[in-house]
Structure 1
Amino acid sequence: MHQGIFLDRDGVINEVLSDRVKFVNKPSDFYLLDGVGEAVKMFNEMGYYVFAVTNQGGIGLGYMKEYALDAIHTQMKAELAAFGAKIDDIAYCPHKPHAGCACRKPQPKMILDLAEKYDIALEESFMAGDREPDITAGKEAGTTTVLIGQRKREQQKADANMTFPDLLAFARWLQKQ
């Protein structure tokens, strides 16, 4: 079995709710956060499979189409590739918030499906997110949970196993283990 690192996208990999961008609905809205390229490359070099697991309710709400999401993910992969980094796979939930689907975080289905597809040992893997639904999904899947970022109001309910200011700080910590 392999080890994996599951990453929420918005707020962990790229900017969201910032001065430059509120939501990422097209490739020009995508801004890789500082240190993310280096962090993902470090995860790759340590032998982890790296996945993005992201709620994309904007599709269900009609703010974007799936082809636009594909273009955003192509942009994300290209920006990471400039650092020699790669995401092994991406899972997303296109449903509206509160749709009651099995795939939307805090439900763990996206993580569980990727773990099965790639033979991932969840108890030896990590889920990194910036909000409580990410942490809940990671716990429900059986991963070690990592809270990333500074969005304090939304993070207060998140009971993660560990907390880091950004993804690069987590990667550096993991490299030393």
Structure 2
Amino acid sequence: MHPYDTIVSRDVDAFPLGEFLDYPRLMSVDWREEEPRMLSAFFTATGLPADGTTLEMDDRTSYYQLVRGSDRVDVPWGDEVSAQHSMLVALQRVFGASHSIRYLNHGCADTASFVVETNEDWRRLESANPHVRWFFTPIERLPDVFKSDIDELVRVGETYGGA
């Protein structure tokens, strides 16, 4: 059985977290995670080849830039935004035409969990199971996952999920 098929309600306590912890498209990101490891985890989760995608340090800003072909996306961090959230947003900007990074909302407190699927797979999954939207919020809809209050993240997830 596919992990999404085991989501049977909006009950957070009934969410099949164990089914997703071993799911190959899951990316676990700790608040101390370094950008190069996140890039590697993204390619592992998507199965996409790295083909010329790199992180380069911008000496002028002291931030990484995610580089793929002619695309260069800054990965800034500071008081307002964490490097981890910024990296996820950069990945979404570069690969968003084909893939969507979604935050596993409602209940992963220590380490943030994200699932990466193709845009078409997300459409199919949401159509087949209305509870998918409740638990998986697109990264671009969220404030900084690592610097925000959990209640704010839940509120955004509930809004996206159709509370």
Return the TM-score normalized by structure 2: 0.29
More strand by share: 2
Larger radius of gyration: 2
Kindly indicate whether structure 1 or structure 2 has the higher relative contact order, using CA contacts under 8 Å at least 6 residues apart: 1
